Structures are given as C-alpha cells and as structure tokens.
Structure 1
Amino acid sequence: MGISQKTNQLGQPKPDLKPRIGLLIIGIILMGANLRAPLTSVGPLINSIRDSLGISNILAGTITTVPLLTFAFLSPFAPKLAQRFSTEFILFISLILLTIGFGIRSFGGVITLFIGTILIGSCIAIGNVLLPSLIKHNFAQNVGMITGIYIVSMNLCGAIGSGISIPISSLSGLGWSGGLGCWGILSLLTLFFWLPLIQNQHKSIRFVQTKKKVKSINLWHSKLAWNVTLFMGFQSLIFYTMITWLPEILEQKGLNTHEAGWMLSLMQFAMLPTTFIVSILAGRLKKQHSLVLVSVVLLIGGVFGILHGSTILIPIWIIMVGIGVGFAFSLAMMFFSLRTQDTNEAAELSGMAQSLGYLLSAIGPVLFGWLHDVTHNWNTSLLMLVLTSVIIFITGIGAGKNEYVA
C-alpha cells in the first residue's frame, strides 16, 4: 500500500513494510486524536480556570490563543527536523513532550498552566505539519482515504473533548486540572503504538533522505503555495471564530446556554462524514474546483441563515456551516499532498501553510469580537465571515489547479 519500490536509491533491497502498515494506521489515528482534543477541551472549562486561579478574562482568553501562536511560529521548523531525523522519531519525541505538557498544565498554577499550554501547542504543531508528509510517503496510492481517516479521528476527538470536559471535571476531586490532565492517558497510549515504528530506523523516511541530498526549495516565491497557504488560513479563521463566538451569537438569538453548547457540538459532528468523503473525492479528482465551490456555497448559506434566517431552522444553518468547514479543512489537508511531488515538498508546504494559517486563525476571533464591540451587533461580524468565504473561493480555485508548487 503506497510502497512500490523494491530497492532504494543505492540499489539495496528495501525492507518489506507491509507488516507494519496496520500498526502505522492505528498510530496515525491515535496521533490525529491528540491534535485537537487538548485544545477543544479547554473552552468549556475557561470559567472554572478563571475563577479557580483568580485571573482576568483577558488572561483566560489567551489560554486558547497561545497554542495557535505556537502553531504559527513552530510549523516552519518541523520539516527541518524531519530532514535531520526520521519523521516517526520526531513524532514519537513530540508525543513524549505532549504527555509531559499535560502533566505540567494540570499542576493547578498560573505559570504551570501556560508553560504546559505552550509545550502542548508546540507538540501539536509538529504533528500537524509532519502527519500529511508521513501519509504521502507510506500511502502514496491511498492518500485520500488515510488522510480522511486521520482527519475524522482528529475532529471526532475534538468534538468529544468539548463535550466531556465539564463532566470529567465534575467528578469528585478532579476539577478543571483533572478535566485537562485526563488527555495525557490518550497520548501515553499513543506512545506505545509509536514505539515499534521507530525501532528500525531504516524503515523510516530518513532511510531515503539520508542517502540522497534533500532538494532545496523556496515555496515563498510560489503562487500556488501562497494560494494553498491562504486557503488554509482563511478556512481555519472561520472554524476558530465559530468555535469561539457561536454560542454567544446563538444565545442572543434566543437559545439558552445548554442549547447553544449543543449547536457548537452539532457543527463539529457535521464535519465528520464530510471530512472523510471529501478527502477521498479530492484524491481522485485532478482539479478540486467543484469541491471548493460546494464548500463556499454551504459556508455563505449557513452564515446568512444564522444572520437572517428563522430561529427554528438554526440547526440547519449550523449543519451547513459544519459541512462547509469540513469540506474546506479536508481540502486544505489534501492540498499538502496533491500539490507536491515528494515528502520533502509536502512537509515544507504544510509548514508554510500552517504557520501563516494559524496566525490568521488567531487574529480571526479577536477581529470578530472587535467588530461586535464597535457596531454593538453581530451583523458586521458575520458579514466578515461571508467576505472570508469569498477569499476562500478565490484562493481555493488557485490551489485546486492540477499543478505542483515546485
């Protein structure tokens, strides 16, 4: 599966990787599960964290912003590490540090909370960038399917994280620190599945790369790379903006807190089947323009529905937004593989797109809230998302061309 060569570049017999494919798929699924839940589990506990530590609303709000900034600053460095060491080894080390980060974040102090959060964000940034290139290397003929499985795992655990944080924290003696620390169990489990993958280093990506000089590329001068980057950034901006503000918007529409929270979960669950299906479709199409169009139509229709539609139909509008975001996110992940010719290019494009992309996503919720404060309503803020959707369409048409970045 995706391993077609019998010899490496030196003409030496290449190890048979089939026995480890099943373990690798499980490892990818578990790795994906660790990439979103540590972030989505924080939002429902923000009030508890603020009251317990006696910190301000502004400082509490930065708990969710800090990981996005670490994504932005560290993503470009992940490909460099993968070139020097094996991708599996770097991901394994990131899992160890991620587990440590969960422990530090759960100590219960302000300083340890932010140190742990920075460490967790740094490790997730590594996983975000390197998993697409790992999939491209090991599953060249099934990139769409494996990417879809990994994205579904990530979004499913992210949705579950939003839902179970408060129930876990309500258990006797656990509190918010227990609600956040429990995710260390998942990262520890993932470690055990990744350990066999790094025991034989000759089976890794570095086995090829260390025997052959890695081609130097500069994606910052590639128009296609910029289209992929902006597409990644603006779709991410819509997702994190909705995650941050959707409950409050719906409460002003007349829903109670419980109903608004369920609508947020509904949006995330609506993404799940879409992310899997779109990944497969995108891998089979030479151009992805039609998928980009469907995504933008759903996003604009859903946002306008929230803005002007009937309150009774709010679940429909939320599902439309969720499916639209799912389309866009899957396409963004697939572009890293579809628009590149080898694993080095895939890692470099992933690093560039996610670096600037998450920087944009960190700005989005702040700008959205500022527009509300200035206008004293959500209309202008939601229209900002419509404009963002138009930009997604323009950049998506450019990113969906059947070309390569280098």
Structure 2
Amino acid sequence: MALFFGIQSGIFYSLITWFVEFFKFKELSNQESVLLLTTFTAMQMAFSFIIPTIMDKFDNDKIWIYICSLSMLIGMLLLSRYNSLGIFLFAVLLLAFSAGGLFPIALLLPLKFVHSPVEASIWTSMVQAFGYMIGGVIPILIGVIIDSTNNLNYLIYSIITGILFILVLTILLPSRKVTNKNGG
C-alpha cells in the first residue's frame, strides 16, 4: 500500500514538476504551457472530490483504480503521439481525472484492511510516511533521466511505467474488505 501511495504521489509530483517544460519541449508557448498546468491542477482538485463521492455508490476500489489507470495511460499516449493544443487539453483532463481519483483511493485503501481505529491510525501513518518519501524521490529520478538524455519524452515513459506498477500492485491487493471485530 505504501508503494501504491508513493507511485501515485510521485506521478502527480512529476506531472506538476515537469509539465511546463514538457509542453515547451512540444513547442507550446509559455502561456499555453502554464494554462495546461493550471487546468491540470484545478481539475485534479475537483476530481479528487467528485470521484470519492461517486465511489461511495459503487464500492469497488479495484475497478476505480483500473479506470483511473486507463485514463492516465490514454492521456500519456495522447501526449506522446500528438502535438496539438486541443489534444493536449483533452489529455490533461484525462490525467487530472486519473490523479484526482488515485489520490483519494490511496488515502482510503489502508482503511479497507484494518480491524480497529488504532490499526487504521497505524496503517495510514505508515502508508503515508513511506509513500510520501517514495513520491518525493520519483520526480527527482525522472529529472536525472531527462537531464542526462535531454529528452522530455522520458516523462511520458516514466509515468507509463509508474501506472503499470500501480496496475500490478492492484492485482496483488486482496479483494475482500476486513470487517470490524466490534460488529462494524
């Protein structure tokens, strides 16, 4: 769970860190690049409220992880294949949907597998502590790759690799909920 949390955080931090430079690499103006970053950030925040609300009605975390991961993959493939502001905007919306969904899922995931409030506190603190450490290193590693190759397309390859790791971790997650020993 800490690895899941770390990778999804690292993906988000990497997009925030490298989006403007990536879009300038794709020959967009500074204004267009910043507009796309702003759109991503605003929409990601909106989706981080909308998606958990929808998830409450359809309680299957794995399905939502798959939907968000597919959205991220499609968005990254669009960024890699096309060079148009309209396509970039659509891709950014897909990425914002994905990032906005994966973050609350990662926050709530430890709660699905605990028996008590004490366990919930221990698990969430452990998952977040190690997850944020992992997430903080990922944009730096991507930056080292980008700097050594002088190719911002490695942002795309790195994000796709991260999403594939998330999909593997999702497959490995237990599919059952743990019920509270106290009858809850």
TM-score normalised by length of structure 2: 0.87
Counterpart contact for 1:292–1:396, Cα < 8 Å: yes
Matching residue within 280, 294, 298 for 2:71: 298
2:154 matches 1:380: yes
Q: Percent identity?
A: 21
Aligned to 1:314: 88
Aligned to 2:30: 257
Matching residue within 316, 327, 335 for 2:101: 327
Aligned to 2:131: 357
Which whole-Å CA distance do the structure 1 matches of 2:179 and 2:18 have between them? 35
2:63 matches 1:278: no
Query: Cα RMSD (Å) of the superposition?
Result: 2.1
Query: What is the aligned length?
Result: 179
How far the C-alpha of 1:382 sits from its partner, in A, is 1.7
Code of the aligned partner of 1:296: S
Counterpart contact for 2:26–2:83, Cα < 8 Å: no
Which whole-Å CA distance do the structure 1 matches of 2:97 and 2:174 have between them? 19
Which whole-Å CA distance do the structure 2 matches of 1:273 and 1:372 have between them? 30
How far the C-alpha of 1:309 sits from its partner, in A, is 1.7
2:21 matches 1:229: no
Which whole-Å CA distance do the structure 2 matches of 1:273 and 1:365 have between them? 23
Change (3 A) 1:405 1:350: farther
Which whole-Å CA distance do the structure 1 matches of 2:150 and 2:179 have between them? 43
**SS of the residue 2:37 aligns to:** helix
Aligned to 2:144: 370
Counterpart contact for 1:231–1:395, Cα < 8 Å: yes
Which whole-Å CA distance do the structure 1 matches of 2:50 and 2:153 have between them? 33
Which whole-Å CA distance do the structure 2 matches of 1:272 and 1:362 have between them? 19
Bigger Rg, structure 1 or 2 = 1
How far the C-alpha of 1:342 sits from its partner, in A, is 2.3
Structure 1 residue runs of 5 or longer lacking an equivalent are: 1-227
Which whole-Å CA distance do the structure 2 matches of 1:323 and 1:261 have between them? 18
Structure 1 moving runs of 4+ over 4 Å = none
Code of the aligned partner of 2:142: F
Change (3 A) 1:383 1:243: same
How far the C-alpha of 1:400 sits from its partner, in A, is 6.3
Structure 2 residue runs of 5 or longer lacking an equivalent are: none
Code of the aligned partner of 1:387: T
Matching residue within 142, 167, 177 for 1:393: 167
Cα deviation per residue 1:244-294 (whole Å; 9 max; x = unaligned)? 111111111122222211211111222234222321343444532211111
User: 5 Å matches for 1:193-232?
Assistant: 228-232=1-5
Code of the aligned partner of 2:14: T
Which whole-Å CA distance do the structure 2 matches of 1:272 and 1:339 have between them? 26
How far the C-alpha of 1:352 sits from its partner, in A, is 1.1
Cα deviation per residue 1:204-248 (whole Å; 9 max; x = unaligned)? xxxxxxxxxxxxxxxxxxxxxxxx221111000000011111111
2:34 matches 1:239: no
Which whole-Å CA distance do the structure 2 matches of 1:393 and 1:257 have between them? 34
User: 5 Å matches for 1:7-406?
Assistant: 228-312=1-85, 313-399=87-173, 401-404=175-178
Which whole-Å CA distance do the structure 2 matches of 1:342 and 1:236 have between them? 26
How far the C-alpha of 1:374 sits from its partner, in A, is 2.1
**SS of the residue 2:66 aligns to:** helix
Identify which of structures 1 and 2 has the higher relative contact order when contacts are C-alpha pairs closer than 8 Å and 6+ apart.
2
